[in-house]
Amino acid sequence: TIAIATAGAPMRRADQLLLGWIAPRGIVAAATAGIFGPALVAAGYPDAALLLPITFAVIIATVLAHGLSIGSVARRLGLAAAGDNGLMIVGATRWSCALGAALRRLGIDVLIVDGAYAHLKQARMDGTPVYHGEILSDHAEHTLEAQHLSHLLSATENEFYNALVCKAQGRHFGHHRTFQLATEVPTGKELKGLQLQQRGFFAFDPGATADVLGRRMEQGWTVQTTKLTKTHGWAELVARLGEQGTDWTLLGGVSPTGAFRLYSKEQKFKLDAGWTVLLFAPAKVAERGEAQPAS
């Protein structure tokens, strides 16, 4: 029935299969059983009294089966991210392209999206997958293959566009996995800025705006990685690098199991031994052997 109902629709085969598995049919079965059960009993078929309870038992069983299996089925069909992996970056700049290239070297899937083809040149040269087009368009909605990506970072210079992208894409990624670059709000006027309900989580440190990241990139800062150990953990790393947010910026990390996390002051996580830390710092940090250049 799902195949017939979706015939000719602009849907991928995987979408049709998932819809066919979870499409609600219980209400039709219950309504039919409620009508025909009593009628059959009145017509002399006493066993028809079991029709309604059997129908509801089947409905409960299928609801449980669908609810418990939808995640694994969606992943098998390529319609859901396999774990905490993958980042979509909206806005191609020197800095965001460097971040994408560094993540790919760590085995993290990355897709960079931008409406200006020329902006994607560096990403294409790095071998990073790109999408040329408007992320909010119907074309992107129907054709963009992003099921393997679990996090979104809107990194354009327009804070309101970033907020719009995060809100629009929240239904795909989950609001807790949509991030945007910080905005510059004058001291004492925080209420004039967008509240969390109207935007994504601010990525990185409060001062990591698009302008600051771009300017530091011009000054020679690079995206770097370093692995934490039991003897050289987070405390030792901070002691060497200096003040976080001023001397360097924490971007995220990759767990020992390969799970990616994007850092946000509004959504912290613990970095333990075995984690690979992704940071943005002056090139001299890597030259001292404290971190490895990733870009």
* Residue 139 token pair: 């074309």
State yes or no: pLDDT of 208 exceeds 70: yes
The predicted structure's pLDDT at residue 184:
74
State yes or no: pLDDT of 124 exceeds 70: yes
Q: Averaging pLDDT over each range in 44-53, 93-102, 259-268, which range is the top one?
A: 93-102
Neighbour-count burial of 73, counting CB atoms closer than 10 A to its CB (0-12 exposed, 13-18 middle, 19+ buried): middle
CA atoms within 13 A on the CB side of 164: 10
pLDDT, tens digit (0-9, with 9 covering 90-100), for 40-68: 888 888 888 888 889 888 888 888 887 78
What is the fold, at CATH topology level, of the domain defined by 87-293?
Answer: Rossmann fold (3.40.50)
Q: Which residues contact 172 (CB under 8 A, 6 or more apart)?
A: 146, 152
The predicted structure's pLDDT at residue 270:
86
Q: Which of 55, 72, 19, 264 is nearest to 6 (CA)?
A: 19
Q: Which of 141-145, 182-186, 209-213, 222-226 has the lowest mean pLDDT?
A: 182-186
Q: Which of 220, 194, 206 is nearest to 281 (CA)?
A: 220
> What's the distance, CA 181 to chain centroid?
15
Domains of the chain by residue range: 2-76, 87-293
> pLDDT band at residue 187, thresholds of 50, 70 and 90?
very low
User: Using an 8 Å Cβ cutoff, are 224 and 284 in contact?
Assistant: no
